[in-house]
Structure 1
């Protein structure tokens, strides 16, 4: 497990108990930043919800713009959430996943919101009217990669 409390981030090439390559902290952040879409998981009204979001990263924070609705419920009160991105190649049977665990809150500072809008560029969901930014502040970041199978020689 890679947590943001650690003082040393290294790309060790370590593998977990199932043989998946453990991604280092910096690699995890690169992959979260590069992915155009991720999924936010949170608990709401007695259920676990997982919803897709178009996101940006700002340091150790993952942020997305939304309107009033179920995603906001996770942000109120800084409740725990998880954010996940992944990628795969069906032809090589390879893939990877990065999980960010943290708490969500609403970005209400105008300068922060302007910076997030700039980072977002053209949003997938249309104009920013009646929308607001939700930030996931990372407490833990983990990633795994399944490398392509090597053909026997």
Structure 2
């Protein structure tokens, strides 16, 4: 591949959601004032939103201070890679009906802890790129003029 633009492709919204539905682990990025944090979370894609569970602590506190978040998921093989970013707002589920529905999605903590809070990331936008992997082009060979 001589041109980097041939190696990178923008994903459609549908392709982004397809990839999100195929994974279970993502990273939640929060910001409160000058502090930016990133948290690994297991999740499910529920329609066109992201749902995860959490316990009381830093993550939940930061979401109450500023609900604007980024959520990122990526994966790779020997021949390709991709990354999807969801920009949106995080909302703790607070009604019995919301929690009951979320309980039916089968989302379980990966570690043996109690996580009573369900959080939904409602997207404002979703974007993604896929990449063809390959060797680095010759950096020091004869250059064409």
TM-score, normalised to structure 1, is: 0.75
Per the alignment, residue 117 of structure 2 pairs with 132
Q: Does residue 61 of structure 2 align to residue 73 of structure 1? A: yes
Unmatched segments (≥5 aa) in structure 1: 1-15
Per the alignment, residue 83 of structure 2 pairs with 97
Distance 1:69 1:58 in 2: 24
Distance 1:18 1:43, change over 3 A: farther
Q: CA RMSD in A?
A: 2.3
Q: Pick from 10, 14, 24: which aligns with 1:36?
A: 24
Number of equivalenced pairs? 132
Describe the superposition over 1:103-138 as per-residue Cα deviations: whole angstroms up to 9, x where unpaired: 1111112222122222134431336x4621111110
TM-score, normalised to structure 2, is: 0.79
Unmatched segments (≥5 aa) in structure 2: 136-145
CA contact (8 A) 2:91 2:120 kept: yes
Distance 2:6 2:64 in 1: 37
CA contact (8 A) 1:62 1:137 kept: yes
| Matching of residues 47-58 of structure 1 within 5 Å | 47-58=35-46
CA contact (8 A) 1:44 1:70 kept: no
Q: Does residue 129 of structure 2 align to residue 144 of structure 1? A: yes
The secondary structure found in structure 1 opposite 2:104 is: helix
Distance 1:18 1:110, change over 3 A: farther
Runs of 4 or more above 4 Å deviation: 16-19
